[in-house]
Chains A and B, each alone.
Chain A
Amino acid sequence: MTLPIAPTMTRRSALAAALAAVAWRPAFAVEDANGAQADALHVLNRLAFGPTPGDLDRVTRMGTPAWIAEQLHPERLALPSFLVDQLATLRTPNETQRELVASYREMQKEAKEAKQAETASADGKKPGTEEGGERRKQIATIYLEAGEERLLQALNSPRQLEEVLVDFWFNHFNVYEGKGLVRVLTESYEREAIRPHVLGRFRAMLGATAKHPAMLFYLDNWLSVAPGYQPRRGGGAAKASGLNENYAREVMELHTLGVDGGYTQQDVTELARILTGWTMVPQQPRKRRFVNGQDAVASNHGDSIFGFDPARHDDGSKTWLGHSVAPGGQMEGEYALDVLARHPATAKHIATKLARRFVADDPSPALVARLTQRFLDTDGDLRAVMQSLVDSLEFRDPRPKKFKTPYQYVLSSVRATGITTTNVRPLMATLTQQGQPLYGCQTPDGWHDTEADWLNPNAITQRVNFATALASGRLPLQRVDFSDAPAGANGMTAMERQTDRAMNKDMAVEGSTPPVDAAALLATLGPAISDKTRAAVAGSPPPLRAALVLGSPDFMRR
């Protein structure tokens, strides 16, 4: 592909002319360094989480087309050894779904026993709490590790587009870490169901999310059974005696067709019937019914605990979205996902969301139409869709039109400083304070993605405070001792308190970083910072200059 590069002075008018005439000049010569830098900044802002020191020069030198081509094939980019080493210290990625679920069940059991013991013992002591506390800490660690795995890669991976897309697609197929089992499965969900597919086939990601226990639990499908189902034994799932339409509705409304995609309540109920029996089998499967032929425990991933249970499946015929669906066990659901993944309404829904993320809050219908067509023509090949997107005139318009989300703001700030982060907890706490807790969107629609959703008075104050704390070296981003203050059950109150205290202290706390050098920061960000801001920075006391750069209106947009 070719990404034309225009000098700054003429770029906007050239673009306007090109848009008006529909005739796109295939390649501009690189006429001056500023224009090339502006292009480099643009792709780093939109396809990465902003520039780190040296990125602008590097991307300018190699040219944006070459950089984009690399980004579209992340497997060709090696991870730096320090990142590989950091990731290697995480334990959660080595645990199977079964082990993770078992940890959670153990914690529940211990908590219950501790409570019973507490009630039983007259002196009000809490026997067993010690152990229960340990287990709770283990669960909190699993959640914290999900955050580390995500943020350390987002900050440091050269595969920046992959990181941007992981954020996008996790959010599209959102699960909420605060709901029961999901807390221990978030890491697994992202690593197994989202990350491998962000530049692959949409159908593969749809299927992987549908079968992951995090989604099965979050949207309740694991419990949805044929009306009249009689469980053989007791237990949690045994309470189910009929349909639960939660997943069936949201998979159409949010994951595929979109709310105006043309389905009815009847279609929701019918899809719920089709998906009965899609459940999880956290115990080792012994019964034959879980392993017979195509109805097997369906683990195409090594340790998946997804299982199709014919006994829970509604065997009747269904009429769904105008299709007659004959009884076919698990294949009914596979067929339904096929239909949804190839549906024009799905293509349009995905195209709109991608255009909104990468181009503008209100993307042009022409761009959405082109991406929709590309999605349909390639059977949902997400790499092909992304290629069309970055090739579009609309994408190339370099004006910073998007207001950063808290996630984008925090990541781009830390990246710009060049600080090597080993403790992501202050960043997780900051995201919570700014209204976008990591993995903490309670509802299945995920975070919204427009300026109206994020620009508000409190947001600006919070960002300015964060910028000031980061630039003055108040955040303990290099703290390595994780033993204290584990994440609480409802978010990160201990983490937040700690971060609040650090932010307001005037003395360095353990693990804090050196103050950020304003001149270096301005060089890193190049054309991102306007002359007006540069003048204001130059006229301010030196200790505040880097804070002003990161807290400037210019840096709030990408």
Chain B
Amino acid sequence: MQRRQLLQMAAAAGLAWSAVGRTAFAATATQAGQQLPGNKRLIVVFLRGAVDGLSVVVPYSEGAYYQQRSSIALARPGQDGGVLDLDGHFGLNPNLAPLMPLWQSGKLAFVQASGSPDPTRSHFDAQDYMESGTPGRKGTPDGWLNRLLGAEPPVPAPAGTHASVTRGISVGATLPRIWAGANPVANIANGARATKPTLLDRPQVSKAFDALYSGDDAMSKAYRESQQSRAEVADAMSPAAMDHEQMVADNGAPLPNGFPDDAARLATLMRRDPNVQIAFLALGGWDTHVNQGGAKGQLASRLQPLGQGLAELATRLGPTFDDTTILVISEFGRTARQNGTGGTDHGHGNVMWALGGNIAGGKVYGRWPGIAESSLNEGRDLAVTTDFRQVLAGVCAHNLGLADNRLAEVFPGFDATPLNLARA
């Protein structure tokens, strides 16, 4: 509704959406599906700051869990503030209750005790490795999502049209490491600004700047990618489309700002624009060294919008959800033992989440090493029994249908067996 008003205002002020890329949209939309096999989609959600996986998928049947975490452990199922039972051993944090329907319908899976073969406890190195897809190797120039974009080169656009640049979409004002590389990626702003008209949408303004950014340099390319993707986003999220969205949304209630709002917008875009096959969002605030809380408190208040947003993403993708895999990843887990200030310090093994119509869910994957004192990595953290690349590569191979030789390009130097999370 707000958007319509804006557009009316824009029209009154003499604004018009740029026409650049519109014909391109029509042409490339029909080619969608030739890029990743079967029009498969991937959304990666990165939790920066190391989410405490032991508070997400809680090993409530293990006594050691309650010994290690005297004041921040989550209660057993059925108790006040207790976890939601998953499989008789693990329970889901109650703040993620909106995800339980997905678990029950077999569309949500977890991989416990997954993580990096590299031992670093630096957030920044660990994130770097998870984004480059090459743990332990700092020199890798590009990110694995960018390599995935390039793994199946798009069919050349017909003469007179532009190749789509919206195959990869990043939400946020900057492009993170995971997208670094040769293939063009568009990013859209967080929040409602993503679809608002700007001064640059005025034809006389864009015409003047087009001339300045007509070169072959990185800035000119970025400019053109932005102009084209904005036009495509404007098409996919026209006022009529947004009105329809409003109708199907629960009671038309506005979503809280932040992740749920961004997730809903992304879902709409992906459903309406088949060119968008890979998307990325990041959210921070998981570095809970102090008073992280249990069923309530600091971590709980972060998990609530995350759960709500992921559920929103699944719902609003509609039928597209069947072809979509959503991965939730974080650079490492946190210490099994709570620290001296009611929080947890940097650890090692963590949990990875996978949601999607094609995920063989309702199951916690991965070999569980336990968190009794003797089982801990370096005497303090959950051990890693599944390399994070087994999960990423597994999703690429089995859910996205990427060929083996392409997989080797996306994850160079990785030779373990990818984990199959796909429905048979």
Contacts of B123 in A (CB 8 A): 443, 445
Q: Which of B51-59, B224-232, B308-316, B356-364 contacts A (4 or more CB under 8 A)?
A: B224-232
Q: Does A541 contact B (CB under 8 A)?
A: yes
Q: Does A414 contact B (CB under 8 A)?
A: no
Interface set, chain B 200-251, CB cutoff 8 A to A? 200, 204-205, 208-209, 211-213, 215, 217-220, 222-223, 225-227, 229-230
Q: Does A352 contact B (CB under 8 A)?
A: no
Q: Which of A239, A241, A456, A556 contacts B174 (CB under 8 A)? A: A456
Contact, CB under 8 Å: B186 / A220: no
Chain A binding surface, main DSSP class: helix
Contacts of B284 in A (CB 8 A): 442-443
Q: A224-B341, A227-B340, A553-B220 are in contact. Are A548 and B209 (CB under 8 A)?
A: yes
Q: Which of B88-96, B189-197, B266-274, B366-374 contacts A (4 or more CB under 8 A)?
A: B189-197
Interchain CA distance A265-B205 in the complex, whole Å: 55
Interchain CA distance A454-B49 in the complex, whole Å: 21
Interface string of B328-345 (1 = CB under 8 A from A): 000000000001111101
Q: A240-B341, A246-B345, A455-B218 are in contact. Are A540 and B208 (CB under 8 A)?
A: yes
Q: Does A374 contact B (CB under 8 A)?
A: no
Contact, CB under 8 Å: B289 / A461: no
Contact, CB under 8 Å: B199 / A459: no
Interchain CA distance A465-B199 in the complex, whole Å: 6
Contact, CB under 8 Å: A506 / B14: yes
Q: Which of B48, B165, B174 contacts A453 (CB under 8 A)? A: B174
Interface string of B271-289 (1 = CB under 8 A from A): 0000000000000110101
Q: Does A72 contact B (CB under 8 A)?
A: no
Q: Does A354 contact B (CB under 8 A)?
A: no
Instruction: Tell me, rounded to whole Å, the shortest Cβ–Cβ distance linking A243 to chain B.
Output: 5
Q: Which of B173, B218, B289 contacts A435 (CB under 8 A)? A: B173
Q: Does A551 contact B (CB under 8 A)?
A: yes
Contact, CB under 8 Å: A551 / B229: no
Contact, CB under 8 Å: A239 / B200: no
The size of the chain A interface, using a CB distance under 8 A, is 61
Interchain CA distance A443-B174 in the complex, whole Å: 15
Contact, CB under 8 Å: B229 / A552: no
Point out which of B122, B198, B199 has the most chain A C-beta atoms below 10 A from its C-beta: B199
Interchain CA distance A245-B287 in the complex, whole Å: 12
Instruction: Tell me, rounded to whole Å, the shortest Cβ–Cβ distance linking A213 to chain B.
Output: 15
Instruction: Tell me, rounded to whole Å, the shortest Cβ–Cβ distance linking A267 to chain B.
Output: 12
Instruction: Tell me, rounded to whole Å, the shortest Cβ–Cβ distance linking B131 to chain A.
Output: 12
Contacts of A246 in B (CB 8 A): 287, 289, 345
Q: Does A520 contact B (CB under 8 A)?
A: no
Q: Does A485 contact B (CB under 8 A)?
A: no
Contacts of A493 in B (CB 8 A): 257
Interchain CA distance A249-B10 in the complex, whole Å: 51
Interface string of A433-474 (1 = CB under 8 A from B): 111100000110100000111111111111011001100000
Q: Does B187 contact A (CB under 8 A)?
A: yes
Q: Does A34 contact B (CB under 8 A)?
A: no
Which size class do B's interface residues fall under? 35 or more
Contacts of B173 in A (CB 8 A): 433-436, 458-459, 462
Q: Does A494 contact B (CB under 8 A)?
A: no
Contact, CB under 8 Å: B209 / A551: yes
Contact, CB under 8 Å: A240 / B340: yes
Contact, CB under 8 Å: A468 / B200: yes
Instruction: Tell me, rounded to whole Å, the shortest Cβ–Cβ distance linking A226 to chain B.
Output: 9
Contacts of B339 in A (CB 8 A): 242-245
Interface set, chain A 57-77, CB cutoff 8 A to B? none
Contact, CB under 8 Å: A500 / B193: yes
Contacts of B406 in A (CB 8 A): none
Among residues of B, the one whose C-beta sits closest to the C-beta of A254 is B124
Q: Does B13 contact A (CB under 8 A)?
A: yes
Contact, CB under 8 Å: A458 / B213: no
Interchain CA distance A533-B211 in the complex, whole Å: 9
Among residues of A, the one whose C-beta sits closest to the C-beta of B9 is A504
Instruction: Tell me, rounded to whole Å, the shortest Cβ–Cβ distance linking B324 to chain A.
Output: 23
Contacts of A505 in B (CB 8 A): 13
Q: Which of A227, A436, A490, A536 contacts B212 (CB under 8 A)? A: A536
Contacts of B180 in A (CB 8 A): 452
Instruction: Tell me, rounded to whole Å, the shortest Cβ–Cβ distance linking A370 to chain B.
Output: 24
Q: Does B41 contact A (CB under 8 A)?
A: no
Interface set, chain B 138-188, CB cutoff 8 A to A? 165, 170, 172-175, 180, 184-188
Interface string of A230-251 (1 = CB under 8 A from B): 0000000001111111100100
Contact, CB under 8 Å: A464 / B209: yes
Interchain CA distance A442-B284 in the complex, whole Å: 8
Interface set, chain B 9-44, CB cutoff 8 A to A? 9-10, 13-15
Q: Does A223 contact B (CB under 8 A)?
A: yes
Interface set, chain A 521-558, CB cutoff 8 A to B? 533, 536, 539-541, 544, 547-548, 551-553, 556
Q: A220-B341, A227-B340, A464-B209 are in contact. Are A239 and B222 (CB under 8 A)?
A: no
Q: A442-B285, A460-B223, A468-B200 are in contact. Are A553 and B213 (CB under 8 A)?
A: yes
Q: Does B378 contact A (CB under 8 A)?
A: yes
Contacts of A220 in B (CB 8 A): 289-290, 341, 343
Contacts of B342 in A (CB 8 A): 239-240
Interchain CA distance A461-B208 in the complex, whole Å: 13
Q: Does B291 contact A (CB under 8 A)?
A: yes
Contact, CB under 8 Å: A239 / B122: no
Q: Does A280 contact B (CB under 8 A)?
A: no
Contacts of A544 in B (CB 8 A): 204-205, 208
Contact, CB under 8 Å: A265 / B378: yes
Interchain CA distance A503-B196 in the complex, whole Å: 12
Q: Which of A242, A445, A540 contacts B341 (CB under 8 A)? A: A242
Among residues of B, the one whose C-beta sits closest to the C-beta of A474 is B199
Contact, CB under 8 Å: B289 / A244: yes
Contact, CB under 8 Å: A244 / B340: yes
Interface string of A475-518 (1 = CB under 8 A from B): 00000000000000010010000001001111000000000000
Among residues of B, the one whose C-beta sits closest to the C-beta of A533 is B212
Q: A220-B290, A442-B285, A457-B223 are in contact. Are A465 and B200 (CB under 8 A)?
A: yes
Interchain CA distance A553-B9 in the complex, whole Å: 31
Q: Does B76 contact A (CB under 8 A)?
A: no
Contacts of A458 in B (CB 8 A): 173, 186-189, 226
Instruction: Tell me, rounded to whole Å, the shortest Cβ–Cβ distance linking A253 to chain B.
Output: 6
Contact, CB under 8 Å: A469 / B174: no
Contacts A460-B213, A553-B220 known; 20 new A-B pairs at CB < 8 A = A220-B289, A240-B342, A246-B287, A246-B289, A259-B124, A443-B123, A455-B219, A455-B222, A456-B187, A460-B223, A462-B173, A500-B193, A504-B9, A504-B197, A504-B198, A541-B208, A547-B205, A551-B209, A552-B212, A556-B219
- Which residues of B come within 8 Å of A, CB atoms? 9-10, 13-15, 48-49, 120-125, 165, 170, 172-175, 180, 184-189, 193, 196-200, 204-205, 208-209, 211-213, 215, 217-220, 222-223, 225-227, 229-230, 257-258, 284-285, 287, 289-291, 339-343, 345-346, 378
Q: Pull 7 A–B residue pairs with CB atoms less than 8 Å apart, ordered by A.
A: A223-B341, A229-B340, A240-B341, A246-B345, A259-B124, A456-B222, A541-B204
